[in-house]
């Protein structure tokens, strides 16, 4: 009899169901990971309810932590029982970007949760090259935030400017925005300003130590930034909302020779007013695009390992972003609550947790090379 697992399966736009699926078996170079927690990303909600995925049916979810349950044939270097996070982008290894290790720019990439089955399930299969060990003492629910933490770090690293002693303005106080604020503080920014029109998000930012949280609809951000920087502007302006108006605001606030970092996925078309465009020219500011994060397949100091290290040492307080957890059985309700804006939810995790994994281990073989049908 084929072993089964519970999974949230997206059959089409708005059609997500809790179903029993066959547990996938890892092939050569792959591992079967029992998912402990999968974070709900801001991109998951439109993918599920308005835009759809690249294929259907599919299991969404790409912010995941878990425990290796089994490995495929000829796999070395990782054993069942290892606690891991999963880099969700699966690179081709043959294109020009892959040749220099820039996997986020892979010309032929695959992706867990949007192009192949992801982490809103009891199990997921991933290449072993995409698994990063979780440091001892770091809880798997916190480790599940490694993906957004790495993206936030990458945004600051990409702009090529040091925040030390300077001002950083962040537009959008969602999970990514708050993580950018935390990294800015870790990296030595003298002043961190956060802008968001939603009151509870501003209060959330203040409660996490970012007192300079402002409503951009009450007063123009450029006036606030000018006042707080002596007219200089912010050296780094991070657009973390994906909204055309916030891109304009970021461009209006950037300091001379500063950088505007485009981090949020765009929610629609936008145009930059002539005066704003001219200001960017006069300031000789940089516009920097950010896509995903830097990942090293062979264990170098990339964004993922830096994020895990900072979380393990307590420098990055990712746990402060977790506002609720839900088991898979209640996952659809949790997703609908986010969609409908019910409750002040910063980061929602869906899964069974590491404790549940220990209780319900199914006794799958640790090596599947010799199993019939593997």
pLDDT tens for each residue of 155-208: 999 999 999 999 999 999 999 999 999 999 999 999 999 999 999 999 999 999
Provide, for the chain, the percentages of residues in helix, strand and coil under a 3-state DSSP scheme, each rounded to the nearest 5. Answer: 30, 25, 40
- The verdict on 158 and 285 lying in the same domain is yes
194: nearest Cα among 217, 221, 218 = 221
Domain span holding position 174? 149-289
- The verdict on 252 and 210 lying in the same domain is yes
Query: Phi/psi of residue 5, each to 5°?
Result: -140, 165
- The verdict on 13 and 105 lying in the same domain is yes
- The verdict on 160 and 263 lying in the same domain is yes
pLDDT more than 70, % of the chain: 94
Q: What is the mean pLDDT of residues 280-300?
A: 93
- The verdict on 236 and 159 lying in the same domain is yes
pLDDT per residue as tens digits for the range 207-263: 999 999 999 999 999 999 999 999 999 999 999 999 999 999 999 999 999 999 999
Measured CA to CA, the distance from residue 290 to residue 361 in angstroms comes to 39
pLDDT > 80? residue 363:
no
Question: What's the whole-model pTM score?
Answer: 0.93
Instruction: Give the single-character DSSP code of 346.
Output: S
Out of 272, 289, 306, a domain closes at 289
Measured CA to CA, the distance from residue 216 to residue 247 in angstroms comes to 12
pLDDT > 90? residue 360:
no
- The verdict on 214 and 93 lying in the same domain is no
pLDDT more than 90, % of the chain: 89
pLDDT per residue as tens digits for the range 101-120: 999 999 999 999 999 999 99
What pLDDT was estimated at residue 373?
A: 37
124: nearest Cα among 157, 87, 160 = 87
Measured CA to CA, the distance from residue 239 to residue 81 in angstroms comes to 39
72: nearest Cα among 34, 31, 24 = 31
């Amino acid at each position: 009899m084929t072993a089964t697992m519970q999974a949230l399966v997206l059959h089409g736009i708005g059609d997500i169901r809790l179903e029993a699926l066959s547990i996938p078996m890892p092939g050569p170079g792959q591992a079967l990971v029992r998912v402990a927690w999968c974070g709900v990303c801001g991109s998951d909600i439109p993918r599920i309810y308005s835009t759809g995925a690249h294929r259907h049916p599919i299991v969404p979810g790409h912010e995941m932590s878990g425990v290796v349950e089994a490995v495929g044939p000829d796999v070395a270097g990782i054993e069942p029982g290892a606690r891991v996070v999963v880099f969700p982008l699966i690179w081709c290894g043959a294109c020009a970007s892959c040749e220099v290790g820039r996997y986020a720019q892979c010309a032929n990439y695959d992706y867990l949760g949007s192009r192949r089955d992801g982490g809103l399930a009891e199990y997921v299969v991933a290449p072993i090259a995409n698994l990063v060990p979780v440091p001892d003492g770091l809880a798997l629910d916190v480790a599940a935030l490694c993906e957004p933490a790495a993206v936030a770090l990458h945004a600051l690293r990409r702009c090529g400017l040091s925040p030390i002693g300077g001002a950083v303005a962040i537009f959008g106080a969602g999970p990514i925005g708050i993580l950018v604020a935390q990294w800015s503080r870790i990296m030595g920014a003298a002043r961190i300003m956060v802008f968001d029109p939603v009151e509870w998000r501003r209060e959330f930012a203040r409660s996490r130590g970012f007192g300079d949280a402002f409503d951009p609809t009450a007063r123009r951000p450029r006036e606030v930034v000018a006042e707080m920087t002596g007219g200089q502007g912010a050296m780094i302006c991070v657009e973390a909302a994906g909204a055309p108006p916030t891109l304009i605001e970021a461009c209006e606030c950037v300091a001379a020779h500063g950088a505007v970092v485009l981090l949020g996925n765009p929610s629609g078309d936008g145009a930059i007013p002539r005066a704003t465009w001219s200001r960017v020219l006069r300031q000789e500011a940089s516009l920097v695009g950010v896509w995903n994060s830097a990942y090293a397949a062979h264990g170098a100091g990339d964004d993922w390992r830096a994020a895990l290290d900072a979380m393990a040492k307590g420098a990055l307080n990712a746990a402060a972003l977790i506002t609720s957890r839900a088991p898979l059985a209640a996952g659809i309700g949790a997703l609908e609550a986010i969609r409908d804006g019910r409750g002040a939810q910063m980061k929602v995790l869906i899964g069974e947790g590491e404790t549940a994994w220990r209780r319900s281990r199914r006794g799958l073989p640790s090596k599947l090379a010799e199993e019939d049908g593997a």
